[in-house]
């Protein structure tokens, strides 16, 4: 018996040793570095912007005053009268539509005492103020009765304590712009602005405005520097604007009209934001568009961050989820002319009508626009009818501009099938790039990593224009920007890159969300009045965008593409600019994986490379203001021997390996 038990024990030990050897044996991936299959377009990874979730006003557009020109449907929304010590006075909104139909209203303040009567503005969920920073106040003003009323501007904290102030004295009966600057004495995320009339008499005011000095590139009336920096850090290939459903409008009267968003800001006609009451769970009735961030600023921002500008224009259809209004086919001329004029505004010489307007705004050189979207997320035959008319004119007059069309809001189903089949079957109409959208569960993204493997290589190219993993349900307020969502998107993105001969653009959506002013989740970057942070989804997007490469090469496991075997997804590329092999590997399992990566087809690699790892053991992990780097990349050096890399991939991880070719 003793010998018998000894034999069984020895056998068990031998089996365990054999199992450990098997467990430690590395899975071998082969990268065919000398077999490029597609060119990766510089536009491959980009940014989608829409004014949702207080993305523009109250977000990236740094204006601190809400309803600065009293043009909201409720003219005093955001404002209230202020009185000190029982002083007398009144404020009355006047309408001067005949004088300036784009900015019809102004406010008349009549003060009955030397001081103590004025207005207060609440800002966008308060005003974010930083100690020691300069703030620039401006106002259009006049004194219609020839009085001598000064205007005292004052930032105060929620307790009413002054944290910065200055005085301007309007003079004369004609409208003039007045400016004054002051320095804040405290940091306060919830400040508000008082505008006091000092002296007895009457003063008229319009375009009451307050900006921080430290905007992006220190531009007056500019953008929040921290938010733009997050975009610039991604090194995006394109910048899509202004949306999104906002292009369409709830009705055609509320559609985005680019011509109303350029020129002097006091002449830009405000309109309601279509997201203000879209969702019953997040009503935002004070959500309007001032268009201080307009098409000129969008083009300028694209240039600043090195991205191709990609404007989307209304095609004569309002949002089909709302009214579904359409312009009759024989009345599309205005819409088509808007497209032609936009091309001239972006690319025309200073001797052209719209090129001169661009030059007058400070940019004589063209923006070199190459892409134009016709419609956003339309569906049905009414879209096809209108697209054909647009495409005919634009193709004849501007064949150099690539046209982007759409398959609607869904990645499958009746609407998608109709548009996908119809657009691909049109022989007499240009269809350069088709925009597909996917808001789906995390599992969908992993299951669809092979979506484009079977697409027609000779057909229209694909723009993955809007996508985001929905952790609960589409448009649910409970969706989270957690690691599970981001990990699934990374798996899907390896499929986009692997099919770069078909997919030429891709962008996550939406981009920004204010923590107190959002309507939709999830979103890539979250902000409050003073801070901003990138979500795990942002980190995935940035990792792919900054490690793109120039040519796709195969990465194989047992001779086939890595599309989910053993819960692993992968893509590989060569970067001709840096002479590197770039490998992206996503481990969606809960187990560590011991892997070997063989770089085949190159004579020699340098003996060191880099491994960037993005991971979390917790699929529910999110980034936050308190812990903005909870999920963030970590880079380390790795050894390369005989054109091989030995690497353990951690559970739930996105990995980027870069190795120089000698």
Per residue in 393-421, pLDDT tens?
999 999 999 999 999 999 999 999 999 99
- Check pLDDT > 90 for residue 1: no
Query: Which stretches of 532-660 are DSSP H helices?
Result: 536-545
Nearest to 398 by CA among 336, 351, 353: 336
Residue 494: the pLDDT is: 98
Measured at the CA of 491, the angle between CA 490 and CA 496, to 5 degrees, comes to 85
Asked if residue 530 has pLDDT above 70, the reply is yes
Render 46-68 in DSSP notation, one character per residue: -EE--S-SSSTBTTTB----TTT
Predicted confidence (pLDDT) at residue 609 exceeds the cutoff of 60:
yes
Cα(197)–Cα(116) distance, integer angstroms? 7
377 is catalytic: yes
Percent of the chain surpassing pLDDT 90: 92
Q: Are 163 and 156 in contact (CB under 8 A)?
A: yes
- Compute the mean pLDDT over every residue in the chain, rounded to the nearest whole number: 94
Does pTM top 0.85 for this prediction?
A: yes
- Distance CA(241)–CA(402), nearest Å, equals 16
C-alpha span between 143 and 380 (Å, rounded): 56
- What average pLDDT score do residues 181-203 get? 96
Calpha distance 18→25 (Å, rounded):
11
- d(C-alpha 649, C-alpha 114), whole Å: 73
Q: What's the rounded mean pLDDT across residues 364-393?
A: 98
Helix H, strand E, coil C: the string for 432-443 is: CEEEEEEEECHH
* Band (10; pLDDT cuts 50, 70, 90): very low
Chain segment 531-573, per-residue pLDDT in tens: 999 999 999 999 999 999 999 999 999 999 999 999 999 999 9
- Residue for token pair 């191709």: 308
Tens of pLDDT, residue by residue over 485-494, are 999 999 999 9
Read off the pLDDT of each residue in 522-534 and give the average, rounded to a whole number. Answer: 98
Q: What is the layout of strands, in order, in the sheet containing 27-32?
A: 560-561, 555-557, 27-32, 593-600, 644-649
Residue of 63, 325, 377, 489 marked catalytic: 377
User: How far apart, in Å, are the Cα atoms of 407 and each of 378, 384, 414, 436, 467?
Assistant: 7, 10, 10, 6, 14
**Could you give the CA distance from residue 593 to residue 635 in angstroms, rounded to a whole number?**
18
Helix H or strand E segment including 312: strand 308-313
Assess whether pLDDT exceeds 60 at residue 261: yes
pLDDT at 6: 36
Q: What is the pLDDT of residue 115?
A: 79
Section 291-319 average pLDDT: 98
pLDDT at 433 over 60: yes
pLDDT band, residue 105 (cuts 50/70/90): very high
Tokens representing 401 are 């501009």
**Of 7-16, 370-379, 614-623, minimum mean pLDDT range:** 7-16
Location of structure tokens 């784009």? 102
262 and 296 Cβ atoms separated by less than 8 Å: yes
pLDDT tier at 24 (50, 70, 90 boundaries)? low
Which of 475, 492, 451, 512 shows the shortest CA–CA distance to 281?
Answer: 475
Q: Which of 79-88, 168-177, 413-422 has the lowest mean pLDDT?
A: 79-88
How distant, in Å, are the alpha carbons of 115, 219, 364 from that of 164?
A: 18, 22, 38
pLDDT confidence bin for 390, thresholds 50/70/90? very high
* Spatial separation of the C-alpha atoms in residues 465 and 455, rounded to whole Å: 17
The secondary structure of residue 215, as a DSSP letter, is B
How far is 647 from 26, CA to CA, in rounded Å? 9
Q: Is the pLDDT of residue 250 over 50?
A: yes
pLDDT band at 25 (very low <50, low <70, confident <90, very high): confident
Q: What is the pLDDT of residue 26?
A: 82
- Give the up-direction half-sphere exposure of residue 614: CA atoms within 13 A in the CB hemisphere: 32
pLDDT of residue 84: 87
Q: How far is the CA of 170 from the CAs of 95, 131, 143, 151, 275, in angstroms?
A: 20, 28, 7, 8, 38
> What pLDDT, in 10s, does the model give residues 219-248?
999 999 999 999 999 999 999 999 999 999
């Amino acid at each position: 018996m003793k010998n018998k038990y000894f034999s069984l024990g020895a056998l068990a030990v031998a089996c365990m040793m054999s199992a450990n050897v098997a467990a430690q044996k590395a899975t071998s991936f082969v990268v065919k570095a000398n077999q490029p299959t597609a060119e990766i377009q510089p536009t491959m990874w980009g940014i989608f912007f829409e004014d949702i979730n207080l993305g523009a006003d109250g977000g990236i557009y740094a204006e601190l005053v809400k309803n600065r020109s009293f043009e909201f449907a409720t003219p005093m929304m955001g404002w209230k009268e202020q009185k000190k010590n029982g002083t007398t006075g009144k404020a009355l909104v006047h309408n001067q539509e005949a004088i300036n139909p784009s900015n019809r209203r102004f406010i008349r303040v009549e003060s009955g005492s030397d001081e103590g009567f004025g207005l207060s503005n609440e800002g966008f969920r308060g005003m974010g103020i930083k100690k020691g920073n300069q703030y620039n106040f401006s106002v259009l003003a006049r004194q219609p009765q020839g009085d001598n009323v000064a205007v005292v501007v004052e930032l105060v904290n929620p307790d009413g304590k002054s944290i910065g102030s200055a005085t301007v004295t309007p003079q004369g009966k004609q409208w003039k712009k007045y400016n004054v600057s002051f320095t804040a004495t405290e940091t306060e995320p919830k400040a508000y602005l008082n505008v006091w009339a000092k002296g007895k008499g009457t003063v008229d005011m319009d375009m009451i405005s307050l900006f921080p000095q430290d905007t992006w590139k220190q531009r007056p009336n500019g953008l929040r520097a921290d938010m733009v920096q997050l975009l610039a850090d991604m090194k995006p290939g394109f910048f899509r604007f202004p949306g999104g459903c906002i292009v369409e409008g709830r009705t055609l009267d509320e559609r985005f009209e680019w011509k109303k968003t350029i020129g002097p800001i006091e002449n830009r006609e405000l309109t309601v934001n279509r997201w203000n009451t879209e969702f019953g769970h997040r009503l935002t009735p004070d959500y309007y568009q001032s268009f201080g961030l307009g098409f000129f600023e969008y083009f300028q921002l694209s240039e600043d961050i090195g991205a191709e500008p990609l404007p989307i224009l209304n095609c004569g259809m309002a949002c089909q989820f709302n009214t579904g209004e359409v312009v009759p086919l024989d009345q599309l001329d205005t819409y088509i002319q808007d497209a032609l004029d936009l091309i001239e505004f972006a690319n025309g010489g200073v001797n052209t009508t719209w090129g001169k307007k661009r030059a007058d705004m400070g940019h004589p050189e063209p923006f070199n626009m190459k892409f134009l979207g016709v419609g956003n997320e339309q569906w049905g035959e009414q879209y096809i009818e209108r697209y054909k008319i647009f495409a005919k004119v634009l193709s004849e007059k501007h064949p150099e501009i690539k046209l982007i069309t759409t398959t609607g809001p869904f990645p499958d189903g009746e609407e998608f099938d109709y548009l996908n089949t119809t657009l691909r079957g049109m022989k007499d109409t240009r269809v350069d790039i088709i925009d597909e959208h996917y808001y789906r569960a995390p599992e969908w993204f992993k299951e669809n990593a092979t979506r484009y493997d079977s697409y027609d290589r000779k057909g229209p190219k694909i723009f993955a224009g809007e996508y985001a993993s929905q952790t609960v349900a589409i448009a649910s307020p409970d969706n989270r920007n957690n690691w599970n969502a981001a990990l699934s998107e990374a798996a899907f993105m390896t499929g986009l890159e692997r099919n770069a001969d078909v997919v030429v653009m891709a962008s996550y959506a939406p981009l920004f969300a204010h923590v107190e002013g959002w309507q939709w989740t999830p979103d890539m970057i979250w902000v409050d009045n003073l801070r901003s942070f990138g979500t795990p989804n942002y980190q995935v997007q940035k990792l792919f965008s900054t490690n793109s490469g120039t040519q796709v090469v195969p990465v194989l496991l047992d001779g086939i593409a890595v599309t989910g075997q053993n819960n692993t997804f992968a893509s590989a590329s060569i970067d001709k600019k840096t002479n590197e092999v770039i490998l992206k590997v996503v481990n969606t399992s809960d187990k560590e994986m011991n892997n070997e990566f063989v770089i085949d087809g190159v004579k020699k690699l340098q003996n060191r490379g880099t491994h960037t790892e993005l991971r979390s053991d917790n699929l529910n992990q999110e980034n936050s203001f308190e812990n903005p780097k909870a999920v963030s990349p970590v880079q380390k050096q790795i050894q390369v021997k005989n054109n091989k890399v030995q690497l353990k991939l951690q559970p739930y991880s996105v990995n980027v390996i870069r190795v120089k070719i000698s």
